[in-house]
């Protein structure tokens, strides 16, 4: 028999809240957000939006929506940035080509793109190649965050991994993502646990199941899977300077 990727999962995300998803590689974190986006559908149960709106059946089942309609409500900023051959302006405006210049620049400023774009030969009209090799990894991620600001989605999916990014740019990315999450329902695939302490809900996944959920403080007090992950990460040499649990 086929083995389920995620089994017996129940989750309620309040409107405007941040839900962080943590766990080892292969735990099911990416599968969960792929289900939210309907890259594939659930076999049983359902994913309901607007559950507090008094709709029939308790909410709007994503399977009854077109994928275009669902994705118009949803913004994604992933570790593997997707930019196309075209200008920086066109890349930011993807999904909202009718946006005004003022709106575009405001989104770029919120994502700190405005800080580096003027150093480029043609500013916002600088042409990117297929791989956007004329931007750094961090700059590419900031452009995708600007795109999400401009699209103004109600639901956000963020993969906050910032490998191959210098410390200064990583800080800008974290600030931009934090600002982007404000007043939006956000699902964050977390890789550095230090960045999601303020999440409204943290889900700890192992082998396709949620083994713990709660706030940062609640999960540390429970001294379970999250506590073990947190201590293991902060004992690692790669995270020098981070505080271990016992010193908070």
> Please, which residues have CB within 8 angstroms of residue 211's CB and are 6 or more apart in sequence?
204, 205, 224, 225
- Last residue in a domain, options 152, 181, 201: 152
The pair of structure tokens assigned to 151 is 């699209």
210 and 159 part of one domain: yes
Domain containing residue 1: 1-73+155-236
55 and 175 part of one domain: yes
205 and 95 part of one domain: no
The pair of structure tokens assigned to 104 is 């575009």
166 and 228 part of one domain: yes
13 and 39 part of one domain: yes
The pair of structure tokens assigned to 196 is 């999601």
The pair of structure tokens assigned to 54 is 């008094």
Nearest to 212 by CA among 199, 225, 198: 225
Indicate which CATH number applies to the domain containing 91: 3.40.50.300
Domain annotation covers residue 104: yes
117 and 22 part of one domain: no
- Residue 136 has, within 13 A of its CA and on its CB side, a CA count of 16
**Structurally, how many domains does the chain consist of?**
2
Domain annotation covers residue 248: no
pLDDT number for residue 79: 75
- Last residue in a domain, options 123, 152, 181: 152
Phi-psi label, residue 14: left if phi above 0, alpha if psi -120 to 50, beta otherwise: beta
User: In this predicted model, what pLDDT tens digit does every residue of 46-95 receive, in sequence order?
Assistant: 888 876 666 666 678 888 888 888 888 888 887 777 889 999 999 999 98
The alpha-helical segments, DSSP class H, found in 28-166 are: 29-36, 67-72, 88-92, 101-110, 114-117, 137-151
10 and 38 part of one domain: yes
The pair of structure tokens assigned to 200 is 């409204």
211 and 222 part of one domain: yes
88 and 122 part of one domain: yes
The percentage of residues in the chain with a pLDDT greater than 90, rounded to a whole number, is: 36
Distance separating alpha carbons of residues 8 and 70, to the nearest angstrom: 24
Residues 35, 42 contacting (CB under 8 angstroms): yes
- Last residue in a domain, options 112, 127, 152: 152
20 and 128 part of one domain: no
69 and 160 part of one domain: yes
Low-confidence stretches of the chain (pLDDT < 50) are 1, 238-248
């Amino acid at each position: 028999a086929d083995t389920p990727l995620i089994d017996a999962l129940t989750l309620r995300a309040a409107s405007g809240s941040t839900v962080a998803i943590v766990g080892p590689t292969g735990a099911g974190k990416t599968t969960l957000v792929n289900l939210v986006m309907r890259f594939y559908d659930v076999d049983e149960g359902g994913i309901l939006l607007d559950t507090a709106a008094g709709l029939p059946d308790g909410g709007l089942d994503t399977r009854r929506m077109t994928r275009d309609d669902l994705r118009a409500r949803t913004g994604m900023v992933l570790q593997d940035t997707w930019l196309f051959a075209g200008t920086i302006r066109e890349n930011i405006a993807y999904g909202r080509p009718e946006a005004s210049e003022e709106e575009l620049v405001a989104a770029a400023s919120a994502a700190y793109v405005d800080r580096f774009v003027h150093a480029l030969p043609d500013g916002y009209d600088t042409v990117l190649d297929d791989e956007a090799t004329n931007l750094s990894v961090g700059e590419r991620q900031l452009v995708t965050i600007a795109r999400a600001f401009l699209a103004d989605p109600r639901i956000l999916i963020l993969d906050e991994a910032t490998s191959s990014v210098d410390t200064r740019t990583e800080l800008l990315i974290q600030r931009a993502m934090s600002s982007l999450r404000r007043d939006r329902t956000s699902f964050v695939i977390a890789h550095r646990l230090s960045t999601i302490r303020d999440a409204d809900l943290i889900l700890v996944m192992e082998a396709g199941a949620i083994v713990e959920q709660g706030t940062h403080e609640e999960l540390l007090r429970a001294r379970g899977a999250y506590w073990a992950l947190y201590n293991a990460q902060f004992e690692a040499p790669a995270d020098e300077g981070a505080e271990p649990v016992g010193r908070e």
